[in-house]
Amino acid sequence: MKTHLTLSLALLLACTGIANAQATNHFANSTNRGTPDGIPPSEEAVCDGLTGAAHGLCTAYCEAMDCDSGSPQASQTACNKVGNKFEQITGGRPPCGCPCVGRVEGYIEALNGDFGLVSCAGFVAPPFIDFVALVTAEDPARQPGAQASGFLGNFCGFAGGGGDALMITDQEAQSCLALVRQKAAEAGLTCPTAP
């Protein structure tokens, strides 16, 4: 699977003009520190950049209730209600639906602009591929991004050879793509969209 992911990323990035792609399957081991996802709410950054009700609902869904974990601290009904309200306000699902947020070190920090955001790169050709990545000022090769593709596979993580990537499901890929585009929009950047 690692070879398939690496080849898929290399092919995709070569097509989009982003060279030297490397990716590995990376499943960070989080130590349990009192919450189901192993990350105390005070250390989570997934909701950074959101304001008002969107920030409050995101914090409830992703951090306090841990609705994205295998052992949420609330019922499925409560998680659905908060998730649906967040979607009603923002037009998208809560950002913690993207597995890279909690499992790839530095991913959410990069999306939040901690390393400076320069541009949004990508390639969109429905229904075959949807790929977006943010280019960071600090390390242009370390591009937090996501891809949904039936023939190249779905991934989230760092493109351009700057870090780890995870193979993910179609639904997770859609969450990750939405998250990358949301963070780009918050930074005033425009990502490629379908022609």
pLDDT average, residue stretch 160-170: 80
Phi, psi of 192 (to 5 degrees): -60, 145
Instruction: List the Cα angle 13/135/15 in 5-degree steps.
Output: 15
The predicted structure's pLDDT at residue 26? 29
- pLDDT tens digits along 43-72: 557 787 788 999 999 999 988 998 887 788
The per-residue b/e assignment along 149-167, b for 16 or more CB within 10 angstroms, e otherwise, is beebbbbbbbbbbbbbbbb
Residue 30 has pLDDT above 80, yes or no: no
H-type alpha helices, 59-169: 76-90, 100-103, 107-111
Identify residue 114 by its one-letter amino acid code. Answer: D
Mean pLDDT of the chain: 76
Lay out the sheet containing 129-136: strands in order across.
Answer: 117-125, 129-136, 143-149, 155-159, 165-167
For 72-86, write each residue's pLDDT tens digit: 899 999 999 999 999
Looking at residue 46, its amino acid is: V
For 112-150, the pLDDT digits (tens) are 899 999 999 998 887 789 999 999 998 887 899 999 987
With a pLDDT cut of 70, the percent of the chain lying above it is 75
Q: In this model, does residue 25 exceed pLDDT 60?
A: no
